[in-house]
A and B are shown apart, each in its own frame.
Chain A
């Protein structure tokens, strides 16, 4: 039932409403079928021919993320100014708000992944996450004082924790396995466009209206609500498990043992190893900033620079991952991270080094953020996909948090440049180990091109469970 559309097809769909009216009466989203903009008949099914098409569902989810990120990043960018300059709270309180959210976010993420699998309703769990973040924006209009602001920020971040894994599961469910990397790349590109536009929009508003914080919050609310509406209307309620059941007649309920797949275990291990040497971007920026006048002057632009590199490279890396395997690209992304550390640590400063460093950091995100979700979905049966993605993302989030604290210690004990060097050396040692774990000996291939042969061990494992063969899972039933 799934029809894959490219960007141009989506545009065409907009311009040809008449053609689409033929789909009236087509199954509604609620019954598990995909009613994305061009159902069969509306647009020539030949659009499926190329395997590298990206589903309109993925594009719709990307647009939802873009609006939501414009909303959240516009607020986040001005929040320090607002808290210290307008509400008159100190930044100590601000740091507290930040720390508070970190802890709860991980638990929410796992719970949301589980809820999405258990109920087989990823869309509605994601909707809940986007929805409560939008409601938090309403709170921002009325919040004054510390307690109110804390509540708003926590609710917003809980929403973010809740929506990520179910949304990524929807992306996986809406994509051809052979173009999964590209789908995630397109999604992350749109998402990052929002992250880059949001702060700029906020600062433009403040440029014209210096006391216009409320205006920023109003605009932010509008984008958040629009995102939720697009999600509600354009994203079908894919029910991966029900679809499978319809396909082969075997129901495949969620089982915890689905998460015991050795490939997922290896992926989680690698994610933990890498996460534990991924220091916060803030630290990288601080090292750069302390090194020269150029970097100090452009410090506030670092975040934007990294995002531009991320959004420009997300799709190319996604395509490469479809071609050469997501595991390979995931490892290569960490080589880019290694390059970031080395450039940050070498005692040479200058505009070029700074820019190269930011580009590599953006490349790291482009090659790992969406790719991790793609890998996790390739390593988990359909029935447990959101949980698998949530597990991988949580492992990364938690280990990165620990890494940042540990790195902070190192930073003050041995000095900033030395600390970065130490982390770079550990990362350099970990990269071949991770490569061996993910790509190593035959039969252990994790997240290789999904159309590869299914490893024997996995087939054997599958034979004993009620889950379908792993490599089919992302593919919807043959059209027609």
Chain B
């Protein structure tokens, strides 16, 4: 092979391969533009304020409202949605606050956490160390919390790790839950792979619940912001969500072992320790939310990448899941 032939082959290959990729990228860009510039069919008036009686969520309707925070009345989830300017990957709202986790795309992708008041005026913000996972605002607006995945930039240099942080409305930063004292049956747990995620607050107190994991096991932990402790109170509970009456925890219950682990929804009665597994056969990887004391709502992905729906199911296990809001994710009920 002569050098000239070699160069010809490589240059032609480069033109074909990189040119082909560029053509593909341009067509993907145009396709995206076409979809993104179409106004969503389901949008109504702009959302300018959060009010009790709304379900606030992230719209995944392909089109101009994709990724924006939207709301529908609790009583009419099928109604036209009011769409806000704000975009979030995960959102949670109380009557006075909105917590929003966002991927800030750019040359280098960054992640941020913003807390706004009920009129969407920014109140507090902080960078996140990785991909947004969960966020919660206490129903009495006294605390807010977030969980992000801390991933390296190579194939997960540090493996799976979460950072869960709680902040008080008075400005107190309680820091990462990894720095809290964590005990199981009275024994302090200090193992390598300790992780915490999925905070749910107990309104009117300094208490909260969250998931703890170590050594392949997961627990429901009761946390206290006053003395910075985490105490395991139940096995195999992930992403807890406290019912409005404060008596039950809805959570995603692991089914099977890694790597084929999936989750279903279960409800734990805190007083009796009794657990009810709900008749939802699909894999629910979400921190569920209570619509009221009888109904649980949660997101499920659609076949189309990046799109999802919000479903509802009876908390006592007495009914099948029902589609509540189409093209929606991260539902939050404002009480």
B195: nearest residue on chain A (CB-CB)? A92
With A21-B4, A88-B285, A296-B127 as given contacts, are A206 and B29 in contact (CB-CB < 8 Å)?
Answer: no
User: Which one of A84, A157, A223, A409 contacts B155 once the chains associate, using CB atoms below 8 Å?
Assistant: A157
Task: Give bound CA distance, A14 to B7, whole Å.
Answer: 8
A42: nearest residue on chain B (CB-CB)? B3
User: Cβ of A95 and Cβ of B129 under 8 Å apart?
Assistant: no
Stretch at the interface among A207-215, A375-383, A440-448: A207-215
Shortest CB-to-CB span from A8 to chain B, Å, is 17
With A77-B153, A211-B306 as given contacts, are A98 and B159 in contact (CB-CB < 8 Å)?
Answer: yes
User: Which one of B13, B21, B29 contacts A229 once the chains associate, using CB atoms below 8 Å?
Assistant: B13
Is there a chain A Cβ closer than 8 Å to B160's Cβ? yes
With A203-B107, A229-B9 as given contacts, are A80 and B149 in contact (CB-CB < 8 Å)?
Answer: yes
User: Cβ of A219 and Cβ of B305 under 8 Å apart?
Assistant: no
User: Which one of A81, A204, A296 contacts B131 once the chains associate, using CB atoms below 8 Å?
Assistant: A81
Task: Give bound CA distance, A203 to B2, whole Å.
Answer: 39
Is there a chain B Cβ closer than 8 Å to A133's Cβ? no
* Chain A neighbourhood of B130, CB < 8 A: 80
User: Cβ of B109 and Cβ of A412 under 8 Å apart?
Assistant: no
User: Cβ of B10 and Cβ of A280 under 8 Å apart?
Assistant: no
Interface size class of A (residues with CB under 8 A): 35 or more
User: Which one of A85, A203, A212, A221 contacts B25 once the chains associate, using CB atoms below 8 Å?
Assistant: A212
Shortest CB-to-CB span from A218 to chain B, Å, is 5
User: Cβ of A218 and Cβ of B131 under 8 Å apart?
Assistant: no
With A85-B306, A88-B301, A96-B259 as given contacts, are A303 and B2 in contact (CB-CB < 8 Å)?
Answer: no
Task: Give bound CA distance, A282 to B119, whole Å.
Answer: 39
Is there a chain B Cβ closer than 8 Å to A465's Cβ? no
* Chain A neighbourhood of B28, CB < 8 A: 209, 212, 214-215
Is there a chain A Cβ closer than 8 Å to B1's Cβ? yes
Task: Give bound CA distance, A186 to B193, whole Å.
Answer: 39
Task: Give bound CA distance, A79 to B131, whole Å.
Answer: 11
User: Which one of B7, B14, B25 contacts A17 once the chains associate, using CB atoms below 8 Å?
Assistant: B7
* Chain B neighbourhood of A101, CB < 8 A: 155
User: Cβ of A37 and Cβ of B21 under 8 Å apart?
Assistant: no
Shortest CB-to-CB span from A192 to chain B, Å, is 13
With A23-B3, A222-B20, A408-B192 as given contacts, are A95 and B32 in contact (CB-CB < 8 Å)?
Answer: no
With A300-B108, A408-B192 as given contacts, are A91 and B149 in contact (CB-CB < 8 Å)?
Answer: yes
Is there a chain B Cβ closer than 8 Å to A90's Cβ? yes
Is there a chain A Cβ closer than 8 Å to B6's Cβ? yes
Interface size class of B (residues with CB under 8 A): 35 or more
Task: Give bound CA distance, A290 to B127, whole Å.
Answer: 12
Counting chain B CB atoms within 10 Å of each CB, the highest count among A93, A223, A296, A412 belongs to A412
* Chain A neighbourhood of B1, CB < 8 A: 28, 35, 233
Is there a chain B Cβ closer than 8 Å to A115's Cβ? no
Is there a chain B Cβ closer than 8 Å to A342's Cβ? no
User: Cβ of B14 and Cβ of A226 under 8 Å apart?
Assistant: yes
Task: Give bound CA distance, A302 to B114, whole Å.
Answer: 23
* Chain A neighbourhood of B301, CB < 8 A: 88
With A226-B13, A230-B10 as given contacts, are A203 and B108 in contact (CB-CB < 8 Å)?
Answer: yes
B36: nearest residue on chain A (CB-CB)? A210
* Chain B neighbourhood of A411, CB < 8 A: 192
User: Cβ of A81 and Cβ of B3 under 8 Å apart?
Assistant: no
Is there a chain A Cβ closer than 8 Å to B110's Cβ? yes
* Chain A neighbourhood of B103, CB < 8 A: 81
User: Cβ of A94 and Cβ of B32 under 8 Å apart?
Assistant: no
B24: nearest residue on chain A (CB-CB)? A218
Is there a chain B Cβ closer than 8 Å to A128's Cβ? no
User: Cβ of B158 and Cβ of A80 under 8 Å apart?
Assistant: no
* Chain A neighbourhood of B271, CB < 8 A: none
User: Cβ of A95 and Cβ of B156 under 8 Å apart?
Assistant: yes
